[in-house]
Amino acid sequence: MADMALDSYSKVQIGVDYYPEHWDESMWETDIKLMKETGVKVVRVAEFAWSRLEPSDGSFDFAWLDRALDLFHAYGIQIVIGTPTATPPRWLTSAHPDVLPVLAGGGVFHPGVRGHRCYNSASLQQYGSRIIEALARRYSGHPAVIGWQTDNEFSMLDCHCDSCNLAFRSWVQKKYGTLEQVNSEWGTVVWSGEYSAWEELTVPYGGSPFQNPSLLLDFQRFQWDAVIAYQKTQTEVLRAICPRHFITHNFHSYPQRLDMHGLAEALDVAAFDYYPNPSPQKQATAPYSGALSLDLTRGIKRRGFWIMEQLSGPPGCWFPMWRTPYPGLIRAYAWQAIARGADTVVHFRWRSAAAGAEQFWHGLIDHSNVPGRRFAEFARLCGEVNALAPLLEGTRVISRAAILYSHEQLAALRIQPQAEGLDYYENIKQYHRALTKLGIGCDVIDWRQPLEGYKLVIVPSLYLHDEEAAQLLESFATGGGTVILTSRSGVKNMNNICVMQPLPGLFSHAAGITVEEYDPVGGEVHSLRSAEDLRYKCSQWCDILRLQGAEPVAWYADDFFAGAPAVTMNRFGAGKVYYIGTQPEENYWLKLLGDAARDTGLTPVPELPDGVQAFTRTGEQGELLFLLNLSRTAQTVGLDKAYRSALSGSLRTGAARLEAYDIEILQAEDGSPQEG
């Protein structure tokens, strides 16, 4: 039977993060009443409140949270509870110091900030499960509670504590069986690194980045598995006791060295903490890196998602404060999140903290407690989202293009940076930005995911590779898909060992080329020539390509490799495989991706003005076209047909003018899909 509470994660609504424990109880009802009047539907609570929920070992105090949740319920506001394990209380860390992570150099990650918990600590697991079980029992039947957030913003700790050391050793044992196998798979013979007894095998003490790269990569994999196993200690308790509630986790700050896809297997819905930088000097990049973060979050579970923390005021404290959000920015970025597939957007935070380290990471309301300009904008957003929720619910983002993202490639390329400026994630930003400018919707999915339904797949550096990866691309191309594969692919096996075959290794067959030689040109600017004899800049890397069935698409135009193919296209089965041997400038990406998209039947729009984005959500009642002006200047976007504004009801034809940070949501008058 479909369950109301479980389905509630796909509602389109606005929420806030609220910390009842930070405020005098006499303020709660006034706050909650204002939330209700403003149109807030959901609130996240308690993710750091361990010391209040369990003031001393084994004695729980839920009375205050009961009173808060009862009040929320009285006002019809729903609740997500964060498990409080990111902030173990002092009584726990002093009695059980194994909770605290140990840094590579041997220093302890002391309590005082947050995140001071080793995922492999037996004490953390035991005490964490105990409080989660108590919370779950207390609130499984509470009428306001709809779901849970596990911990808060998982990230890699590179913990070197004794528990991690032992756990790592057994992880390696389980993976390879014998020490002989470890020695051979990691190539430990180099620099006399061979292990002769299991006790010699440890976490990479000292933290030097120049240790054996196979060890370093497996140490990361071990940690990914540890976070997944740790989260399981939470989700198993929650599933058993609260079967009607959904479970999420709030990912943050991409790129994260985390197996987000693996972590999300235990979750119903993924969430992201979205803090676009509101400073004017970031105006050229923030809307695009933001769009990528949203697409990446949607790709975690390949469905709608939540924003668990959304920008509400000037961020600060971790650095001198950034600019305050320009008028319209808070609303526009919340709509950008919804346009890219967020269903619920929860703003961080209701009111700026009066105490603690984050006093100047501003909330919607300032310390004065007088709601101001930002709050008025938030109230407008709540009104709009509530009015349009019936239209938006059930709609989703459908993309015909995808970028294959891999946390393993990210990690391996961080372990051994290849050339100055060559950064896995920064390069993804470039292609993604070009797609966004062309109005081509794009999913960003895990690199091992099936590719059915896509026409165009961009494959950033598959530096580590295996037969499975080659097969995936070959069968996609055979079936008529277009693959765009970039340099530094097919370099290594999955254990981070270089393979003894011409680059791009197992991808040569599909790409119809081999790399004769390469030049890590780094920050130097080199030159490309297209078939139309146009010049484009390129940098980072130059693969000098030998054609083995592929056609050249662009050539180098300088240095000793002038005239050699730099970009190629191979017809493979019913599809095409492009190989890009260098990192070209944005104009080249716009041309290449625009041509490839048109060729596969996608319809790129004429390049959108800087900062303007167009995204679509599709449902049974047709398509909703979101036009967002994420810039400080008014912009005009040409319209391909007549539309009606879902916001104002007015007819829009010819062109839509958008003021600074204004947005429009359009439905085609004739109900047909728009271009792009």
Of 120 and 293, the one with the shorter C-beta distance to Zn ion is 120
206: left (phi over 0), alpha (psi -120 to 50) or beta: left
**Rounded CA separation 364/347 (Å):** 8
- Secondary structure class of 247 (helix, strand, coil): strand
Query: Would you call 183 exposed, middle or buried from its count of C-beta atoms within 10 A (0-12, 13-18, 19+)?
Result: middle
Return the SS3 of 639. Answer: coil
- As measured in angstroms, the least distance from the Cβ of 51 to ligand GLA is 16
**Active-site residue (options: 309, 377, 408, 474):** 309
State whether the Cα torsion 337-628-276-415 is positive or negative.
Answer: positive
Q: Which does 139 bind (CB under 5 to 8 A by kind): Zn ion, ligand GLA, none?
A: none
Question: With respect to ligand GLA, which residue has the nearer C-beta, 263 or 625?
Answer: 263
Region 375-404 residues binding ligand GLA, contact defined as CB under 6 A: none
Residue 358: which of Zn ion, ligand GLA, none does it interact with, CB under 5 to 8 A by kind?
Answer: ligand GLA
Say how many C-beta atoms besides its own lie within 10 A of residue 647's C-beta: 15
Q: Residue from 144, 164, 296, 379 that binds Zn ion (CB under 5 A)?
A: 164
Report d(CA 673, CA 653) in Å as an integer.
15
Give the pair of three-digit tokens for residue 180.
């002989």
Question: Nearest approach, Cβ of 165 to Zn ion (angstroms)?
Answer: 8
The verdict on 124 binding Zn ion (CB under 5 A) reads: no
Question: Residue 153: which of Zn ion, ligand GLA, none does it interact with, CB under 5 to 8 A by kind?
Answer: ligand GLA
In the bound state with ligand GLA, the residue whose beta carbon lies nearer, of 309 and 543, is: 309
Looking at the Cβ atoms of 253 and 501, the one nearer to ligand GLA is: 253
Of 464, 440, 452, nearest to 592 by C-alpha is 440
The answer for residues whose C-beta is within 8 angstroms of residue 1's C-beta and 6 or more apart is none
Strands laid side by side in the 612-619 sheet: 612-619, 622-629, 663-668, 643-645, 651-652
Binding partner at 347 among Zn ion, ligand GLA, none, C-beta below 5 to 8 Å by kind: none
Q: Which of Zn ion, ligand GLA, none has residue 472 at its interface (CB below 5 to 8 Å by kind)? A: none
Which of 42, 135, 161, 365 binds Zn ion (CB under 5 A)? It is: 161
CB of 98 to Zn ion, least distance (A): 8
Q: Which helix (H) or strand (E) holds 375?
A: helix 373-392
Q: Which residue is nearest to ligand GLA (CB)?
A: 273
Tokens of 530: 């297209």
CA distance 252 to 307: 10
153 is catalytic: yes
Closest approach, Cβ 43 to ligand GLA, in A, equals 14
User: Residue written as tokens 């994660």?
Assistant: 9
Instruction: Count residues near ligand GLA (CB under 6 A).
Output: 8
| Contact positions with ligand GLA (CB under 6 A) in 347-376 | 348, 358, 361
Main-chain dihedrals φ then ψ at residue 361, nearest 5 degrees: -90, 90
3-state secondary structure 644-665: EECCCCCEECCEEEECCCCEEE
Catalytic residue among 153, 384, 408, 474: 153
> Considering only CA atoms, which of 580, 593, 596, 495 is closest in space to residue 542?
580
Distances in Å between the Cα of 71 and the Cα atoms of 16, 25, 41, 420 are: 15, 11, 13, 56
When asked if residue 153 is in the footprint of ligand GLA (CB under 6 A), the reply is: yes
Instruction: Pick between residue 79 and residue 438 the one whose CB is nearest to ligand GLA.
Output: 79
Minimum Å gap between C-beta 626 and ligand GLA is 25
**Minimum distance from residue 148 beta carbon to ligand GLA (Å):** 15
One of 92, 118, 307, 544 touching Zn ion (CB under 5 A): 118
Q: Residue 167 CB, nearest distance to Zn ion (Å)? A: 8
Q: How far is CA 9 from CA 27, 302, 306, 603, in A?
A: 28, 14, 8, 33
Closer Cβ to ligand GLA, 43 or 412, answer by number: 43
Please report whether residue 159 would count as binding Zn ion according to CB under 5 A.
yes
Question: For 2-101, where are the alpha helices, taking DSSP H only?
Answer: 4-7, 25-38, 50-53, 63-74, 90-95
Could you give the CA distance from residue 41 to residue 328 in angstroms, rounded to a whole number? 21
Minimum distance from residue 84 beta carbon to ligand GLA (Å): 12
Starting at the edge strand that comes first in sequence, how are the strands of the sheet with 482-486 ordered? Answer: 442-446, 401-405, 456-459, 482-486, 575-580, 565-572, 551-556, 513-530, 535-547, 582-584
In angstroms, rounded to a whole number, what is the distance separating the alpha carbons of residues 667 and 673? 9
| 420 tagged catalytic | no
CB of 358 vs ligand GLA, minimal distance in Å = 5
Diameter of the chain measured on Cα atoms: 76
Output 149 or 570, the one with its CB closest to ligand GLA.
149
Dihedral sign, Cα of residue 505, residue 511, residue 514, residue 515: negative
The answer to the question of residue 151 lying near ligand GLA (CB under 6 A) is: no
Q: Could you tell me how far CA 199 lies from the centroid of its own chain?
A: 37
Alpha-carbon separation of residue 397 from 66, 281, 295, 435 (angstroms): 38, 30, 10, 15
Judged by beta carbon distances under 5 to 8 A according to partner kind, the member of Zn ion, ligand GLA, none in contact with residue 309 is ligand GLA
Task: Name the one range near Zn ion by CB under 5 A: 54-62, 163-171, 180-188, 625-633.
Answer: 163-171
Q: Smaller CB distance to ligand GLA: residue 358 or 607?
A: 358
Cβ distance to Zn ion smaller for residue 122 or 574: 122
Q: Does 331 bind ligand GLA (CB under 6 A)?
A: no
- Please choose which of Zn ion, ligand GLA, none residue 152 contacts, taking the beta carbon within 5 to 8 angstroms, the exact cut-off set by kind: ligand GLA
CB 71 → ligand GLA: shortest distance, Å? Answer: 22
What's the CA gap between 396 and 518, in Å, rounded?
43
Among the listed residues 31, 295, 309, 384, the single contact to ligand GLA using CB under 6 A: 309
Which of 10, 120, 152, 496: binder of ligand GLA (CB under 6 A)?
152
Which of residues 101 and 505 has its CB atom nearest to Zn ion in the complex?
Answer: 101
Single-letter amino acid code for the residue at 375: F
Near ligand GLA in 271-290, by CB under 6 A = 273
Report the site for ligand GLA in 29-88 (rule: CB under 6 A): none
159 binds, among Zn ion, ligand GLA, none (CB under 5 to 8 A by kind): Zn ion
Proportion of the chain in helix, strand, coil states, percent, rounded to 5: 35, 25, 40
CB of 521 to ligand GLA, least distance (A): 38
Question: Would you say 528 and 535 are in contact if contact means Cβ atoms under 8 Å apart?
Answer: yes
CB of residue 258 vs ligand GLA: minimum separation in angstroms? 15
Task: From the list Zn ion, ligand GLA, none, pick the one residue 333 interacts with, judged by a Cβ distance below 5 to 8 Å according to partner type.
Answer: none
Count of Cβ atoms closer than 10 Å to residue 444 Cβ? 24
Q: How far apart are the first and last CA of the chain?
A: 38
Active site residue ranges: 153, 309
> Binding residues for ligand GLA, per CB under 6 A?
152-153, 252, 273, 309, 348, 358, 361
> Binding residues for Zn ion, per CB under 5 A?
118, 120, 159, 161, 164
